[in-house]
């Protein structure tokens, strides 16, 4: 559509992707499974309602799936006599993704490659079986576009379509007259209202290659972290040894934490933070175990630079925000990992302090103060900040977190490079065996403490496997504990090299897409509910 008349016609078209659904929150593909909105999804829809309260609509076309119908209801139901005509149309349902349904997006991206995953979602691919072919999907959406949408616009109606990501993107493709082989993910965020005559400018800001690069960085973050380690070690070997301010390192950690949390379903945090299984795991893993071990080390009289002391400190170290990224990429539920990150950081105020007091000979008071500020303080502050952002700007904040996950990975990689330049390579034989033992030992502890055959088992494992080594590095740097700093930096090497083992081990922990527990966990309905159309509208299509 290129003419001025066409542009005027498109200015009367608005399209909305539904608010965040329960499947979105766990990074799984819903397709035609009937997933409801999350708390954030409803907040997002409320923001759309406020922003467009003065906009008059003649009719609204909506998908029958609950997440879309609820979104439309929140946006339009409180308009009284000015409420538009609502028409439920089955042709606006999301594509049936067959074998991809309820699969983890990250697992699919890693299994088939980013490009092949995009092809399967936006066209046809041999990796996707069952469901609808892209031709079948295109045919029904095109029928709606040509038989319902265009005639309504040509009559002069102000129209809103409330549907799903790939339906809206397909309509955009029709408007742009884009060939099928040029299609790709437009990164349309949940609940953003897109006006028809602005589609060209929206699409112009998307870059197919860079979008896939960004996804690759997140999904393959272990490779990126290891590359950062290699770069730092090579620079160190070449004589580029340098000392970076701990405050700069802390800033990198804070910003990465905020970006990571922007895409986490924090509004539902209480459900997981008060979960008895998680509370029990945190109490045993982050309080009882490290304090008991530190007491034993203290009674034994081990030196402050002994392997036993370093082990006690790492046992007490709370979980890292990296665990949330790992959970997402390995197919976990993400929020249980966040709950362990938050609770272990709060527990660290006690357990980390006790362990440091029992094991360190010098600098105990500043070490305790710094640990509280950097572990408990950073995570708690980031959580409170992001929660406020998600309340005040729910669409923009979630969009930012989704699009900039790669930035968090790169910031942590920069952290790794900078601290690697501080390593004493000549002391590798002194510190590296201890670091390797710690990394292996933490994985063994995680395997013992995880809830076997539980839907959250993978999150248990990832949370306990990735301690906040970054915090230990900062504590050691600020207190001048060179030995602890060196062990912590060296531990980064086996920690992320062993992440490739974690990818293999996760296959035994991840919840399969056909697991009978998913409907209850995600609140899925067996079939879309039957919605009665508003007075004067046509019946829903079957």
pLDDT-derived band at 535, boundaries 50, 70, 90: very low
167, 191 contact by CB (below 8 A): no
Pick from 70, 90, 79: nearest CA to 17: 70
Bigger pLDDT: 242 or 271? Answer: 271
The DSSP call for residue 423 is -
pLDDT-derived band at 527, boundaries 50, 70, 90: low
CB burial class (10 A; 0-12, 13-18, 19+) of residue 147?
exposed
101, 29 contact by CB (below 8 A): yes
Contact partners, residue 478, CB within 8 Å, separation at least 6: 246, 366, 370
* Least reliable range by pLDDT among 365-369, 452-456, 516-520: 365-369
Q: What percent of the chain has pLDDT over 70?
A: 94
Residue 388: the pLDDT is: 94
Pick from 214, 190, 193: nearest CA to 202: 193
| Mean pLDDT to the nearest integer, 245-258 | 91
Query: Residue 59 forms beta bridges with which residues?
Result: 85, 159
Q: Report whether pLDDT(381) > 50.
A: yes
Please name the residue ranges forming H helices in 105-198.
105-112, 114-122, 134-144, 150-154, 165-176
Residue 182: the pLDDT is: 65
SS3 per residue for 492-512: HHHHHHCHHHHHHHHHHCCCC
Q: Report whether pLDDT(82) > 80.
A: no
* Least reliable range by pLDDT among 238-247, 285-294, 339-348: 238-247
* pLDDT tens by residue, 180-211: 666 666 778 899 899 888 888 877 777 788 88
Residue 363: the pLDDT is: 76
| Mean pLDDT to the nearest integer, 474-497 | 90
Residue 539: the pLDDT is: 37
The DSSP call for residue 146 is I
Q: Report whether pLDDT(536) > 50.
A: no
- By annotation, the residues acting in catalysis are 18, 94
Give the helix/strand (H/E) hosting 60: strand 59-62
pLDDT-derived band at 85, boundaries 50, 70, 90: confident
Residue 521: the pLDDT is: 94
Q: How many CA atoms lie within 13 A of 327 on its CB side?
A: 35
Q: Report whether pLDDT(383) > 60.
A: yes
Query: Residue 472 forms beta bridges with which residues?
Result: none
Bigger pLDDT: 526 or 376? Answer: 376
Q: Report whether pLDDT(457) > 70.
A: yes
Residue 528: the pLDDT is: 62
Mean pLDDT rounded to a whole number for the chain: 89
Q: Report whether pLDDT(328) > 90.
A: yes
Record the pTM: 0.90
CB under 8 Å, gap of 24 or more: what pairs does 389-397 form? 389/262, 390/40, 390/43, 390/262, 390/266, 390/267, 391/43, 393/47, 394/40, 394/43, 394/44, 394/47, 394/191, 395/44, 395/47, 395/48, 395/189, 395/190, 395/191, 395/192, 397/262
Residue 540: the pLDDT is: 40
Q: Report whether pLDDT(81) > 80.
A: no
414, 252 contact by CB (below 8 A): yes
- For the chain, give the number of residues: 542
Q: Report whether pLDDT(245) > 80.
A: yes
Residue 204: the pLDDT is: 76
390, 262 contact by CB (below 8 A): yes
Q: What percent of the chain has pLDDT over 90?
A: 67
């Amino acid at each position: 559509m290129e003419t001025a008349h066409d542009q005027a016609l498109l200015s009367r078209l608005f399209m909305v992707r539904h608010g965040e659904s329960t499947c979105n929150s766990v990074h799984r593909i819903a397709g035609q499974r009937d997933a409801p909105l999350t708390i954030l999804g409803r907040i997002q829809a409320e923001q759309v309602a406020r922003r467009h309260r003065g906009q008059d609509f003649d009719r609204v076309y909506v998908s029958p799936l609950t997440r879309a119908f609820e979104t439309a209801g929140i946006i339009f139901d409180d308009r009284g006599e000015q409420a538009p005509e609502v028409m439920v149309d089955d042709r606006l349902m999301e594509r049936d993704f067959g074998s991809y349904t309820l699969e983890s997006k990250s697992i699919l991206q890693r299994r088939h490659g980013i490009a092949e995953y995009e092809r399967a979602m936006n066209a046809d691919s041999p990796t996707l079986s069952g469901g609808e072919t892209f031709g079948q999907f295109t045919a029904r959406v095109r029928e709606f576009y040509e038989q319902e949408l265009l005639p309504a616009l040509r009559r002069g109606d102000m129209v809103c379509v409330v549907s799903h990501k790939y339906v809206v993107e397909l309509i955009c493709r029709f408007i742009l007259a884009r060939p099928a082989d040029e299609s790709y993910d437009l990164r349309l965020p949940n609940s953003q209202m897109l006006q028809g005559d602005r589609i060209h400018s929206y699409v112009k800001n998307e870059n197919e290659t860079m979008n896939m690069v960004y996804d690759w960085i997140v999904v393959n973050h272990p490779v990126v972290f290891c590359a950062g380690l290699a770069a730092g070690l090579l620079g160190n070997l070449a004589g580029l040894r340098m000392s970076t301010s701990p405050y700069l390192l802390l800033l990198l950690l804070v910003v990465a934490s905020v970006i990571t949390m922007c895409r986490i379903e924090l509004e539902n945090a209480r459900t997981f933070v008060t979960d008895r299984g998680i509370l029990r795991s945190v109490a045993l893993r982050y309080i009882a175990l490290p304090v008991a071990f530190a007491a034993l080390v203290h009674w034994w009289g081990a030196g402050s630079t002994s392997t036993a002391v370093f082990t006690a400190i790492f046992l007490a170290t709370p979980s890292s925000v990296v665990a949330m990224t790992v959970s997402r990429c390995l197919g976990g539920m993400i929020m249980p990992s966040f709950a362990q990150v938050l609770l272990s950081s709060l527990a660290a105020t006690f357990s980390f302090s006790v362990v440091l007091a029992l094991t360190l000979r010098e600098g105990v008071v500043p070490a305790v103060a710094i640990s509280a500020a950097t572990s408990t303080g950073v995570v708690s502050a980031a959580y409170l900040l992001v929660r406020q952002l998600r309340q005040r700007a729910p669409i923009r904040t979630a969009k930012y977190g989704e699009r900039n996950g790669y930035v968090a990975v790169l910031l942590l990689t920069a952290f790794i490079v900078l601290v690697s330049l501080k390593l004493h390579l000549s002391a590798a034989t002194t510190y590296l065996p201890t670091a390797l033992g710690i990394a292996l030992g933490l994985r063994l502890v995680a395997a013992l403490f995880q809830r076997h055959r539980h839907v959250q088992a993978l999150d248990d494992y990832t949370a306990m496997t990735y301690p906040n080594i970054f915090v230990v590095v900062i504590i050691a740097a600020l207190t001048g504990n060179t030995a602890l700093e060196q062990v912590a930096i060296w531990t980064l090497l086996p920690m992320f090299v062993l992440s490739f083992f974690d990818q293999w081990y996760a296959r035994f922990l991840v919840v399969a897409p056909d697991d009978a527990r998913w409907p209850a966990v995600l609140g899925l309905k067996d079939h879309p509910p039957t919605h009665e159309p508003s007075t004067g509208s046509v019946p829903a299509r079957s």
